[in-house]
Amino acid sequence: MTQPRRAVFLDRDGVLNRAVVRDGKPYPPGSVEELEVLPGVTEALERLQAAGFWLIGITNQPDVARGTQRREVVEAINDRLLTLLPLAQMFVCYEDGTTCPRRKPNPGMILEAAAQFMIDLPASFMVGDRWSDVEAGRRAGCRTVFLDYGYAERRPDPPADRTAADLPEATAWILLTAFNNKEKRRGNPG
């Protein structure tokens, strides 16, 4: 029987790639040409992968349902990120509104990924830059990291397990936390 795996679930816009900020609110890039992987992301993901984590993108893309973005463009951006970064897969919810079980803050995409890849959710992490990312991770049973860019919108409440300035800082905490938990399971003092 295969052992459950640890994963880091990563929001797309604002975590992996630069979000377009207008009036204090983040938006996805409008095209592949506008896509910019954030500084330090590739190295951070490589460190997490080397530590044995599965890396899975989890993204809401409601602009498709709203008619302000085409699905093919979202898929092209995702394909580009999957080419550039060591991600196992990108899970996407194209719905708008709060009733879809896959749309963050609901945990559906995380639960779907966990079933597909045999993920140990309590040993896993969700990293996001919006309250809905943190809430989805919490509802799925993961530890959570909030990347605080000071957006003019709701903050996680209750707060995430950790707040960080960027993915490299979040990665350092995830690796330290995972190492400390592994040592405790072995019976070694932290």
Q: How would DSSP label each residue in 4-56?
A: PBPEEEE-SBTTTB--EEETTEEE--SSGGG--BPTTHHHHHHHHHHTT-EEE
Look up 23 and say whether it is catalytic.
no
Cα–chain center distance at 143: 12
Look up 120 and say whether it is catalytic.
no
d(CA 164, CA 98): 27
Q: With H, G, I as helix, E, B as strand and everything else as coil, classify residue 57.
A: strand
- Look up residue 84 and give its amino acid: L
With CA atoms as reference, report the closest residue to 28 among 66, 59, 55.
59
With CA atoms as reference, report the closest residue to 177 among 49, 48, 11.
48
- Look up residue 25 and give its amino acid: K
Given 13, 129, 133, 161, the catalytic residue: 13
The set of catalytic residues is 11, 13
